[in-house]
Amino acid sequence: MVVALAAPPVVADAGARFVAEVSARTAGVSRLEMCIQCGSCGGSCPSADAMDHTPRALFALIRAGRRDEVLRSNTPWMCLSCYHCAVRCPQDIKITDVMYTLKVMAEEAHTYPNGTAPGFSGIFIGNIRRFGRSWDLGLTALHYLRRFPLRLPRMAPMATSLFFHGRIGLLPTRIKQRGQLKAILKRAKELERAR
Amino acid sequence: MSRYLYYPGCSMEGSGRSYRESLEPVCAALGIELAEISDWNCCGATEYVSVSTIPAYSLIARNLAIAAGERKAGEPLVAACSACYLNLAKTDRYMAEQPALGVSVNDALGAGGLHYDPGTVRVRHLLEVILTDVGLDTVRAAVKKPLTGLKVAPYLGCMVPRPDVYDMAADHENPKGLDMLLGALGAEVVDYPLRTECCGGHMSQIAPKVGLELIRRLVAEAERREAAMMVTVCPMCQINIDAYQGEMNAMFHTHHRMPIVFFTELMAVAFGLDPKKVGLGREVTNARKTLVQALKAAPAQTLAAAGVAAGTAPAPVHRPRPDKRALPMPRMPQIPGMADSEVEE
């Protein structure tokens, strides 16, 4: 007797939904769903020592739908963007880009483990929005004053040397079409919020 | 002269000034015409993508849209900064690969009266242009003062060999292009196995314990290999290893002193230009004195005697013998008549 078996229902559990959400928000085709938990990423990572979870463990947490733990993990913030994992991943997962997405999501949820990295990025992009260019002096001065005032004495000789070798611009360079750039970024921000 | 569109990037005007000061005369000497795109903006480095996605990619795409409008005959867009190169290349690829991203980015660009069709502009790194389009023979022919006696550690860092969004590199871990280029200048290239390891990027500024340890590894290894200086292709790597070396020495109680310069600076010197005028000496850890001393100490040699003539990679200088006490490495049995591809299957 042939028993007709119905296809098992596809259960869209919280984990699968979270994987899909992270994957869709990642630029490029992330292939995050393809992770086979081999651990090549963590084994390749030069900063894995400093991470709460290796990338593999973090992807397992995403698959388990443990959103809060994932978005509180320091793992994405310790990512160096060296892409060792990305080229070694047997499943071609865009691990670095997934890390960027997780940072963006943690910032939206205000769950980042420590404000140093987001603070640094914030000053950096604030300068870009204002001037259209990055501004080293404004960035580092404000960053060290806010986050590492105690490192400043040690930085002084280096900053002096950079200055006298003509490597620090006192004033920011500005692009001409700042209005155009602002309009583009404003529209892009609206689209980002609508996601 | 072949024409290339040129995206300098912010660091070329500040911390990486010597890169610009050297690459422009080098390109002129090699017949590369660099047409700087007008009113370019910052690529956002690794910071903007860490805060938001669509704005970050729109920011980068503005440069691609400008570049597409300024092409005369399908010229590629060349960047010399690794992060700028990767960001531009990634935006071009990802807008095509993920149409939803392309639509959003073009929607945003539209607010500024711009549009970019992914695939229009091919993004390339200067090192790859010199290796592929110019070729080592032309470089060799331009050498007037071979860098005989200068021991250099070639350091590529991450973003040029990886993630390789256009899928064109044969080797992401140990590419030898920079070694061969420096060899063509007459320099003695040491075997530097950390050539594609990470300098820590912005970690020197946000998490010094992580960042400075990575810098320590790179510098200590270059020193162990007896390099007089490291040579890089990236302004971020340059400032990390150059300017943060003092803080790194203080943290680890070490006394390393390893200058690091851009590959174009050494090219310019080998092409007979005045080291001062091409940015040498702008380092915190001075490289100009090291360079002058190394070149003086070496006996005068002709190009051919320096082993430059043949198109071979320079022989590794320092190769430690394996430790006899170490565990033996497993060996695969050699099966006659079996091709490599079959073994992999």
- CATH code at B176? 3.40.50.11810
The pair of structure tokens assigned to A79 is 């990512």
Indicate whether A7 pLDDT > 80: no
Indicate whether A17 pLDDT > 50: yes
Structural domain includes residue B239: yes
Distance CA B94, CA A175 (A): 26
Residue type, A156: A
Helix (H) or strand (E) holding A138: helix A136-147
Model confidence over B216-262: pLDDT tens digits?
999 999 999 999 999 999 999 999 999 999 999 999 999 999 999 99
The pair of structure tokens assigned to A62 is 């995403």
Clarify whether residues B166 and B264 are in a common domain.
yes
pTM for the model stands at 0.89
- CATH code at B25? 1.20.1050.140
Between the CA atoms of A24, A26, A29 and A33, what dihedral angle is there, to the nearest 10 degrees? -60
Distance CA B103, CA B108 (A): 9
Residue type, A32: L
Distance CA A40, CA A84 (A): 10
Domain-terminating residue out of B63, B91, B126: B126
Structural domain includes residue B42: yes
Provide the CATH number for the domain formed by A14-109 in this structure.
1.10.1060.10
Question: What pLDDT score does B296 carry?
Answer: 86
Indicate whether A62 pLDDT > 70: yes
Residue type, A17: R
Structural domain includes residue B13: yes
ipTM value for the complex: 0.93
Average pLDDT over residues B189-200: 97
Buried b (16+ CB within 10 A) or exposed e, B169-178: beebeebebb
Structural domain includes residue B118: yes
**Contacts A152 to B, Cβ<8 Å:** none
Indicate whether B342 pLDDT > 70: no
Structural domain includes residue B345: no
Clarify whether residues B54 and B156 are in a common domain.
no
Evaluated on CA atoms B199, A79, B253, A147, the torsion sign reads positive
Question: What pLDDT score does A6 carry?
Answer: 67
Q: Which of A145-154, A185-194, B240-249, B304-313 has the weakest average pLDDT?
A: B304-313
Q: How confident is the model at residue A5 (pLDDT cuts 50, 70, 90)?
A: low
- Residues B108, A187: C-beta atoms closer than 8 Å: yes
The DSSP-derived string for B184-203 is HTT-EE---TTTTS---TTH
Average pLDDT over residues B179-197: 97
Clarify whether residues B115 and B183 are in a common domain.
no
Q: Which of B53, B90, B198 sits opposite A46 (nearest CB)?
A: B198
Q: What number of other Cβ atoms are within 10 A of residue A14's Cβ? A: 11
CB B58 within 8 A of CB B103: no
Question: What pLDDT score does B246 carry?
Answer: 94
Instruction: List Cβ neighbours of B285 (8 Å cut-off, separation of 6 or more).
Output: B242, B245, B257, B258, B259, B260
Instruction: Please compute, for residue B285, the number of CA atoms within 13 A of its CA located in the half-sphere on the CB side.
Output: 23
Clarify whether residues B102 and B29 are in a common domain.
yes
* Chain B, window 96-125: residues with a beta carbon less than 8 angstroms from a chain A beta carbon: 97-98, 101, 104-105, 107-114
Percent of chain B with pLDDT over 70: 86
- Angstrom CA distances, B79 to A127, A184, B8, B87, stand at 22, 23, 6, 10
Give chain B's domain count.
2
Clarify whether residues B87 and B190 are in a common domain.
no
CB B39 within 8 A of CB B4: no
Q: What number of other Cβ atoms are within 10 A of residue B325's Cβ? A: 5
Phi, psi of B36 (to 5 degrees): -65, 130
Indicate whether A97 pLDDT > 90: yes
Clarify whether residues B155 and B276 are in a common domain.
yes
**Contacts A148 to B, Cβ<8 Å:** 208
Structural domain includes residue B321: no
Q: Which domain holds residue B77?
A: 2-126
**Contacts B243 to A, Cβ<8 Å:** 158, 161-162
Domains in chain A: boundaries: 14-109, 116-193
Clarify whether residues B99 and B230 are in a common domain.
no
Distance CA A39, CA B247 (A): 33
Strands B229-232 and B260-262: parallel
Structural domain includes residue B306: no
The pair of structure tokens assigned to B88 is 């531009």
Chain B, nearest residue to A117 by Cα: B206
How far A40 CA lies from chain B's nearest CA (Å)?
14
| B244 CB-contact burial (10 Å; exposed 0-12 / middle 13-18 / buried 19+) | buried
Clarify whether residues B87 and B155 are in a common domain.
no
Clarify whether residues B8 and B92 are in a common domain.
yes
Question: What pLDDT score does A38 carry?
Answer: 98
Question: What pLDDT score does B320 carry?
Answer: 60
Average pLDDT over residues B170-198: 96
- Does residue B298 sit at the A interface (CB-CB below 8 Å)? no
Q: What number of other Cβ atoms are within 10 A of residue B91's Cβ? A: 30
